Amino acid sequence: MDRKIKNWGNYPEIISNVKSFDTSGMVEELFKEEKHWIARGMGRCYGDASLGENVLSTLKYNKVTFFDTQSGIIECQAGFTLDEVLQLAVPKGWFLPVTPGTKFVSLGGAVASDIHGKNHHKEGSFSRHTLSIKVLCGDGKIYNCSKTENADLFEATCGGMGLTGVILSVRFQLRKISTSYITQKQIKAANLDELLILFEKYKEYTYSVAWVDCLARGKHFGRSILMLGEHAEMNDLKGAKAKAPLKVHSEAGLNIPFNFPSFVLNKYSIKLFNFAYYHKNFKKVQESTTHYDGFFYPLDNIKNWNRMYGKPGFLQYQFVLPLNQVEGMKLIMNKIAEKKQGSFLSVLKVFGPQNDLISFPEEGYTLALDFPMTGSLLKFLDELDQIVQDCGGRIYLTKDARMNKEFFHKSYPRLEEFIDIVNKYNPNTEFRSVQSERLSITR
Amino acid sequence: MKTVLLLGATSDIGQALADKYAKEGYTVWLAGRNTNHMQDIAADLKIRHEVAVEYYKFEALDYVSHQKFYTDLPGIPDITVCIFGYLGDQEKAESAWDECQNILDTNYKAAVSILNIVASSYEERSVGTIVGISSVAGDRGRQSNYFYGSAKAGFTAYLAGLRNRLFKHNVHVLTVKPGFVDTKMTEHLELPAPLTAQPSKVAGAIFKAVKKRKNTIYVLGIWWLIMTIIKSIPEPIFKRLKL
Ligand SMILES: Cc1cc2nc3c(=O)[nH]c(=O)nc-3n(C[C@H](O)[C@H](O)[C@H](O)COP(=O)(O)OP(=O)(O)OC[C@H]3O[C@@H](n4cnc5c(N)ncnc54)[C@H](O)[C@@H]3O)c2cc1C
């Protein structure tokens, strides 16, 4: 049935023929009905990456088929979510090797975007922990692939935004934990320079990320809170926490039942939020032991928080710049502060080395922020793109809904190789999304 | 441990029931046509709920195989749920007997055939629960789906008779009329959200109704109201409606 769909940013919205499947045989049948498909999991990408004329929803293909509690190796079908992995693995003393800022992501989506987390500088992106995947390609075959078997397909599928085929299942290595808590250290940085020094000083921490007030100017420019974390050991826990050291997260509490009117989030309310958020930490350094849910997924507790941006939706802008481009970072942040369009969720992180075919991360600084959708936004982001391009950086495809194809083609240097692999396994470009067409990745 | 047998286990409602019963600690026996699919479902249930799960090949339309299928099970299940069904294509079935027959056979004859066998075994031992997934479509024939509807009407009447027969033997029979359910079978239809239940909701309602030994349930209360109204429309008016 044709129906309206949109992803997390509520922009764009399109009409698609959406089909689900719960066996690989059903996918093969569907391929006979229509030629072009794009897989879709939880729709947590922000823009148009999982939208297309025909959408193959993986959410009913969601079984866990293997879990060895001794070695922490797990295999799940693509529609199984990180939320479900945690429910299963945490009580047995295992955790996700890499996690994004929300647990409502499918494993297919995690691989297709080659997601990164707060531990990227130490442990790389999701593909580093992926042992093997099964992909159903447009040539009608199911390939098992890994770093050693059909390696070209593996490399192109991790971060390949669904264009190599439908990921059917994912086998990966979990991370051993003794408790489900995180010992957390929060450090206030008065400005951007101080923040970058702190990142360097604390780079041995497993988890690090900073919240930045992108609207602060003058001497407060780049004021931020650096959040560091390690998995807590048993002796870090006291009282109730020590009694249930492997407690799993609970269900979301609050729900935003409808779209907020768009004036709710304006430059004043965001500025106020940022001010309050920065000043809520009285001390320069604050330490605590918190549950992983609050540490990794602070927003998951509010269902449908994206509705706060109202009906027009919002865009997330995430880019990465090489380490030597601090001036470029300042230039961009200055532009945002001037424009007074920053969001109340600006997140900065230092990526470690990574040199992949098509995955987003590469060594450098990455900044992600949300912008409410307004008339002047698209032009403004084009200006930011220019700076990113001049600095040799690039934009994360899973957050993108608008970049232009020239910039994209310049900023992903190995794109041609990627396209060759896509074509090899999909002789008739069977998989295409609104994004892949917009960016001229697919013919 | 108590055991539940799910006939038509790979359907969305079947999978949701398997999940619910496994979560409650039951041993789950899956029965269906697609063994590869059941293998994945079984692995998932075992890993997530740490219960015993087995699966058996079951051909609903192969009536003669039913007795052997049932005798070959490792024991007698405490609860048997008959879920399989076939919506079919009403328009096609009006002229193509194959399609029509398939709808009638799957939804009525096949269910009767296997439940006859289960019923006798329960009657003999004076224990057991039979659950039949029927449909609100069986409450009154409508032009849009009266093949499916009439087969389900037959099934509802069958279950009522069975309940009557087995009551004195302490065997419980539950009739379920789910209304619209969001499944693969209905994905191509435009269903109104307030009238449409998720499979997990259906499974939860069935689990509860079995515990409480209910006779008939509508999963969403609103359906009882709708069907009561539909049933009360006098035929001279009803026949003119486009339903
Ligand atoms: C609040 C929030 C925080 C986030 N934080 C982070 C973060 O810290 N780090 C990070 O890396 N990402 C982050 N993300 C982005 C998110 O992790 C990715 O967009 C992820 O891919 C979403 O998965 P999904 O199941 O929702 O996939 P969808 O959004 O449905 O699809 C995303 C892409 O994956 C493809 N895809 C999905 N399933 C399959 C499949 N089975 N086979 C082939 N292709 C498939 C789609 O075609 C599409 O290209 C965040 C998102 C949100 C909403």
User: pLDDT tens, B45-67?
Assistant: 999 999 999 999 999 999 999 99
Cα(B19)–Cα(A211) distance, integer angstroms:
40
Residue A361 confidence class, pLDDT cut points 50, 70, 90: very high
Is the pLDDT higher at A210 or at A251? Answer: A210
The C-alpha of A18 sits at a distance from chain B's nearest C-alpha, in angstroms, of 9
Protein residue closest via CA to atom 49 of ligand 1: A161
pTM strictly above 0.80: yes
Biggest CA–CA distance in chain A, Å, is 62
- Give the Å distances, CA to CA, from A19 to A2, A382, B187, B188: 9, 35, 7, 8
Residue B91 predicted with pLDDT over 70: yes
Distance CA A163, CA A436 (A): 8
For A205, B104, B106, B200, the CA distances from B110, given in Å and listed in that order, are 63, 9, 5, 25
The HSE-up count of residue B210 (CA atoms within 13 Å, CB side) is 20
User: A94-110 burial, b for 16+ CB within 10 Å, e for fewer?
Assistant: bbbbbbbbbbbbbbbbb
Cα of A45 vs centre of ligand 1, distance in Å, is: 5
pLDDT greater than 70 at residue A236: yes
Task: Give the minimum alpha-carbon distance from A439 to chain B in angstroms, rounded to a whole number.
Answer: 31
Residues belonging to chain B with any Cβ–Cβ distance to chain A shorter than 8 Å = 10, 12, 15, 34, 36-37, 40-41, 43-44, 47-48, 184, 187-190
Residue B243 is predicted with a pLDDT of: 81
Distance of CA A284 from the midpoint of ligand 1 (Å)? 35
DSSP state of B9: T
Q: Which two tokens stand for residue A294?
A: 């609050």
Average confidence score pLDDT of chain A: 94
Pocket test for ligand 1, best of A105, A119, A422, A441 (most atoms within 8 A of CB): A105
Question: Which of A16, A42, A44, A125 is the best mutation target for the ligand 1 pocket, counting ligand atoms within 8 Å of the beta carbon and taking the most?
Answer: A44
Residue of chain A whose Cα is closest to the Cα of B19: A63
Indicate the range of A49-63, A145-159, A334-348, B10-24 predicted with least confidence.
Answer: A334-348
pLDDT in tens, B190-232: 888 889 999 999 999 999 999 999 999 999 888 888 998 988 8
Contact A357, A156 (CB under 8 A): yes
**Pocket of ligand 1 contains residue A121 by CB under 6 Å:** no
Residues 6+ apart with CB under 8 A from B168: none
Say whether B44 and A20 touch across the interface (CB within 8 A): no
The response to whether residue A441 sits with its C-beta less than 6 Å from ligand 1 reads no
Higher pLDDT, A262 or A430: A430
pLDDT-wise least confident of A284-288, A429-433, B32-36, B219-223: B219-223
Structure confidence at residue B2 (pLDDT) = 97
Q: Is the CB of A135 within 6 Å of ligand 1?
A: no
Q: Is A43 in the pocket of ligand 1 (CB under 6 A)?
A: yes
Residue A308: predicted pLDDT: 85
CA B189 to chain A, closest CA, distance in angstroms equals 6
What residues does A255 pair with on adjacent strands? A303
Active site residues of B: 148
Find the mean pLDDT for residues A73-101. 98
A72 Rama class: left (phi>0) / alpha (psi -120 to 50) / beta: left
**Partners of A93 in beta bridges:** none
pLDDT at A215: 87
- Chain A residue with Cα closest to B35: A23
The rounded Å distance from CA A82 to ligand 1 centre is: 11
Three-state secondary structure of chain A: CEEEEECCCCCCEEEEEEEECCCHHHHHHHHHHCCCEEEECCCCCCCCCCCCCEEEECCCCCCEEEEECCCCEEEEECCCEHHHHHHHHHHHCEECCCCCCCCCCEHHHHHHCCCCCCCHHHHCCHHHHEEEEEEECCCCCEEEECCCCCHHHHHHHCCCCCCCCEEEEEEEECEECCCCEEEEEEEEECCHHHHHHHHHHCCCCCEEEEEECCCCCHHHCCCEEEEEEEECCHHHCCHHHHHCCCCCCCCCCEECCCCCCCCCCCHHHHHHHHHHHHHHCCCCEEEEEEEHHHHHCCCCCEECHHHHHCCCCEEEEEEEECCCCHHHHHHHHHHHHHHCCCCCCCEEEEECCCCCCCCCCCCEEEEEEEEECCCCHHHHHHHHHHHHHHCCCEECHHHCCCCCHHHHHHHCCCHHHHHHHHHHHCCCCCECCHHHHHCCCCC
Token readout for A295 is 């540490």
State the count of interchain CB pairs (< 8 A) between A and B: 40
Nearest-5° Cα angle at A120, A117 to A125: 75
State the distance from the centre of ligand 1 to the C-alpha of B183, rounded, in angstroms. 24
pLDDT band at B1 (very low <50, low <70, confident <90, very high): confident
Query: Which two three-digit tokens encode residue B115?
Result: 């439940």
Residue A332 has pLDDT above 90, yes or no: yes
**Model confidence band, residue A232 (pLDDT cutoffs 50, 70, 90):** very high
**Residue A165 phi, psi dihedral angles, 5° rounding:** 155, -170
Distance CA B233, CA B98 (A): 33
Per cent of chain B over pLDDT 90 is 85
CA-based nearest distance B20→chain A, Å: 15
> Closest to A88 (Cβ–Cβ): which among B37, B48, B187?
B48
How far is residue A88's CA from residue A84's CA, in Å, rounded to a whole number?
A: 6
Q: Is A167 in the pocket of ligand 1 (CB under 6 A)?
A: yes
Q: Which residues of A touch B23 (CB under 8 A)?
A: none
CB spacing of B43 vs A66 below 8 angstroms: yes
* Higher per-residue pLDDT: B237 or A144: A144
Q: Which residue has the higher pLDDT, B230 or A150?
A: A150
Q: Which two tokens stand for residue B231?
A: 């049933």
Least confident range of A128-132, A254-258, A374-378, A409-413: A254-258
Q: Which residues of A48-73 are buried (b: 16+ CB within 10 A; e: fewer)?
A: bbbbbbbbbbbbbbbbbbebeeeebe
Provide the pLDDT confidence category of residue A269 given band limits of 50, 70 and 90.
Answer: confident
- pLDDT above 90 covers what percent of chain A? 81
- The rounded distance, in Å, linking the Cα atoms of B86 and B2 is 29
User: Residue A124 region, left (φ>0) first, then alpha (ψ -120 to 50), else beta?
Assistant: left
Provide the mean pLDDT of chain B. 96
Nearest to B213 by CA among B166, B151, B154: B166
Task: With cut-offs at 50, 70 and 90, classify the pLDDT of residue B106.
Answer: very high
pLDDT of residue A344: 67
The Å distance, Cα B19 to ligand 1 centre, comes to 26
DSSP code of B217? E
Interatomic CA distance for residues A336 and A371, integer angstroms = 10
Question: B44, A64: Cβ pair inside 8 Å?
Answer: yes
Quote ipTM for the complex: 0.89
Q: Which atom of ligand 1 is nearest to the CA of A61?
A: 41
